[in-house]
Amino acid sequence: MEALLANIIEYLNAVGPVVVFVVAMVETAFFIGLLVPAEATVLVAAFLVAEGVFSLESVLAATILGALTGDQLGYLLGRYGGTRFVTRGGRPGRVWARYEPQATAMFRRRTIVAVTLARFVSFVRTLMPCFAGMTKMPWPRFFLFDLLGVVGWGAASVAAGYLAGESWEALARWLGRASAILVAVLLLGLGAVVLRRRRRAVLVRKAAGPEPAPAGAGDPGPEPAGAGSPEPVDG
């Protein structure tokens, strides 16, 4: 990751803020974004703004437009490619079929959390657009709440890098650790909710008792005429 960041910084110095646009776009447009240090790229670009290398407007515009473009591509990838992938079956398909109702409810009822606030967590924002597309979330609604998140994240990241100055690298490490801790907490919370629901379902089944046998099961039915009656003896 450090070697990749060093290469990005080299291109940033040579090409300019367009590199920020490309990195911010790739982070959420494809799953390889998990390996792209977009946050650090924005921070170092903002530091170069403070040094007078770039203008604030160009870096801010590149950050917001790149992130917004990447999110829309990620949404389309999830809506048309991700859905096809999970419908093929296999373990991913079974997992998605089990949790699709909860994911759909999350994106439609708590959009500000699932889309807008998710934009501020590095690992989550990489996967969020794809999952939003897979849940068939209406695109205008996704775009509106995503725009709010992108503008907030872009402005906050550029401001943080500008103020951090030469300490941008330490800030990038701190933000990465904070995001990792937050993701771990979210996963633990999700696991606890899933476990609690499973236990509750088991208790409900036990309280209901065994299912009643179908009507007529175990009933031998009427005896045939004469069955069990001794035959008359001649005599």
Res 63 pLDDT > 90: yes
Look at residues 176, 160, 169 and name the one whose alpha carbon lies nearest to residue 46: 160
pTM above 0.75, yes or no: no
Task: Give the burial class of 112: count Cβ atoms within 10 A of its Cβ; 0-12 exposed, 13-18 middle, 19 or more buried.
Answer: exposed
pLDDT tens sequence across 121-140: 878 888 899 889 989 999 99
Res 144 pLDDT > 90: yes
The per-residue pLDDT for 232 is 55
Structure tokens at 108: 């439609």
- Judged by average pLDDT, the poorest of 79-83, 84-88, 109-113, 191-195 is 191-195
Burial track 130-145 (b if 16+ CB lie within 10 A, e otherwise): bbbbbbebeeeebbeb
